[in-house]
Amino acid sequence: MKKILALFLTLAMLLSFAACESKSVETTPATEAAQPTTEATQPATEATQPTAEATQLAEPVVNKCVIYISSLGTILDAFGKSDCIVGAYGSLAEAYNVPSCGKWNEVDVEAVIATGADAVFGYKNYTTEDQIAALKDAGITCYFIELSDADTAPDEVAELGRLFGCEAKAQVFVDLYNQYDALLKERLAGVTALNVYVEGTSSTPKTANNTSAAHKLVTGAGLVNLYAENETQYPERNLEDVITKNPDIIVKLLGSSATLDDTTYGEYKTGLAGVAAADNDKIILLNNECGTTAIGAVIGRLYVAKFAYPELFADVDVDAVYEKLCTEFFGKDFTGSGAYFK
C-alpha cells in the first residue's frame, strides 16, 4: 500500500512540474497618463491569471527585459530585479542607464534585439503583430501587462512574481491588497454614499469622469462621483457648477513632489472658496502614489474612506498600512502620511 501511495505522489509531482513549463499568456495594458482606449482598459481575462502550478517555478522565466511601462520599473525595484532591465524608452532608459529602444508607445524592434533581451513588456495597442512575430523569431517573448488598474493589480503582480522568480515578494502585496480590499467592501456595504468632487494632479484644475482612475479611487471608497457621467474624461473645473452640485467632500490628488501640509491645504482651499465642502474643511489632499496608481490605490481608498466615514474605520491606522506597503513590499523607508486633512 505504501509503495502504491508513493507512486501516486510521484506521478502527481511530475504532472505539476510539467504544468509549470507553460508560457504566461499576455494581458492587455493601459496607463491613465496615456489615456488608453476603452479596449485597453479592460481587466485581464481569466486565461491570463497565474495558475497554482505556475507559482511553483523555482527559476525565473525572464532574465533580461526591455520595458515600456514605467510602473513595471517600480515593481522590479521592489523585487530587487532592476538589473534585469537592459532597455527601455526615453526618460525611463535614462533612469536605469540602459539603451533607449523607442518611445513608450513605439517599439524599436532592432534596438530591442540588440539588447539581448529575452522579454519585452509593453502595450498591446502599440505593438503590431509583425513586431511581435519579429521579436519572437529573435527568441524574445512579448508580455502585455497593465499595471494601471487597481482591480487587476494583484493578479498582475503575482504573474510578475512568477516571471521574475519573486513569488514570495509578490505575495506580500497580494495579501495586503486582498485584506484591505475585502475590509473596504465589507464595511462600505449598504452605506449611504456621500457625494464627492475629485481633482487630479494637473496644473489646470480638472475633475474626472467614470473612465478615469480617479473615479475608481473615490467609488472604491464608497463615494458618488458628481462628474461621473461627464462626456469629457477630464473636464476643467467650473467653480460655479461645483458650488451648485454642492459635494459633501473634496478629494485633491497631488504629485509625489508636492508637500502635504497646511500651506498646500490653504492654497487649494482658497481656490474653491464658495464651495460649502471647502469652506467647512471637508477636503482631503492625497499623494497620488497612494491614490490612482495600481499598486497604491488600495491605500488611497482607505484614506478617503476613513475621511468620509470615520466611524466605520476608526480602528484602521491607514498610515500603518501604508508604512507596511512601503517597507515590506517596496523595501524603502516610510517618509510620512500619504494624506492631509483637518
- In this structure, the answer to whether residues 214 and 336 fall within a common structural domain is yes
- In this structure, the answer to whether residues 220 and 319 fall within a common structural domain is yes
Closest CA to 254 of 319, 181, 194, 198: 198
- In this structure, the answer to whether residues 272 and 163 fall within a common structural domain is no
**CB-based burial, 317-339: b 16+ in 10 Å, e otherwise:** ebbebbbebbeebbeeeeeebbb
* Domain that residue 241 falls in: 190-341
pLDDT at residue number 38:
32
Separation of alpha carbons 28 and 278, rounded Å? 39
Residue 8 lies in a domain: no
Question: Would you say how long the chain is, in residues?
Answer: 342
Residue 320 lies in a domain: yes
Separation of alpha carbons 10 and 49, rounded Å? 27
Q: Mind listing the pLDDT tens digit for each residue in 268-296?
A: 999 999 999 999 999 999 999 998 899 99
pLDDT at residue number 256:
84
- In this structure, the answer to whether residues 139 and 217 fall within a common structural domain is no
Q: Which of 135, 168, 201 is the last residue of a domain?
A: 168
Q: What is the identity of the amino acid at 30?
A: A
Centre a 10 Å sphere on the Cβ of residue 118 and count the other Cβ atoms it contains. 17
- The one-character DSSP state at 329 is I
Separation of alpha carbons 214 and 89, rounded Å? 26
| CATH code of the domain covering residue 32 | 3.40.50.1980
pTM score, whole prediction = 0.81
Separation of alpha carbons 299 and 259, rounded Å? 18
- In this structure, the answer to whether residues 326 and 248 fall within a common structural domain is yes
- The one-character DSSP state at 88 is B
- In this structure, the answer to whether residues 154 and 259 fall within a common structural domain is no
Q: Which of 112, 136, 168 is the last residue of a domain?
A: 168
- In this structure, the answer to whether residues 31 and 78 fall within a common structural domain is yes
pLDDT at residue number 310:
97
Separation of alpha carbons 252 and 214, rounded Å? 10
Centre a 10 Å sphere on the Cβ of residue 123 and count the other Cβ atoms it contains. 22
Separation of alpha carbons 189 and 110, rounded Å? 52
- In this structure, the answer to whether residues 162 and 244 fall within a common structural domain is no
Q: Longest Cα pair distance anywhere in the chain, in angstroms?
A: 81
Separation of alpha carbons 211 and 192, rounded Å? 23
Strand partners, 285: 252, 340
SS3 assignment, position 316: coil
Residue 317 half-sphere exposure, CB side, CA atoms within 13 Å?
6
Q: Could you list the pLDDT tens digit for every one of the 342 residues in the chain?
A: 433 334 333 434 333 333 333 333 333 333 333 333 333 333 333 333 333 333 344 478 999 999 999 999 999 999 999 999 999 999 999 999 999 999 999 999 999 999 999 999 999 999 999 999 999 999 999 999 979 889 999 999 999 999 999 999 999 999 999 999 999 999 999 999 999 999 999 999 999 999 999 999 999 999 999 999 999 999 999 999 999 999 999 999 999 888 999 999 999 999 999 999 999 999 999 999 998 899 999 999 999 999 999 999 999 999 999 999 999 999 999 999 999 999
- DSSP symbols for 215-279: HHHHHHTTEEETTTT-SSSSPBP-HHHHHHH--SEEEEEE-TTS--SHHHHHHHHHHTTT-HHHH
- In this structure, the answer to whether residues 97 and 37 fall within a common structural domain is yes
Centre a 10 Å sphere on the Cβ of residue 45 and count the other Cβ atoms it contains. 11
Residue 63 lies in a domain: yes
pLDDT at residue number 301:
97
Residue 183 lies in a domain: no
- In this structure, the answer to whether residues 263 and 335 fall within a common structural domain is yes
Residue 128 lies in a domain: yes
- In this structure, the answer to whether residues 116 and 223 fall within a common structural domain is no
The total number of structural domains that make up the chain: 2
Q: Are 149 and 43 in contact (CB under 8 A)?
A: yes
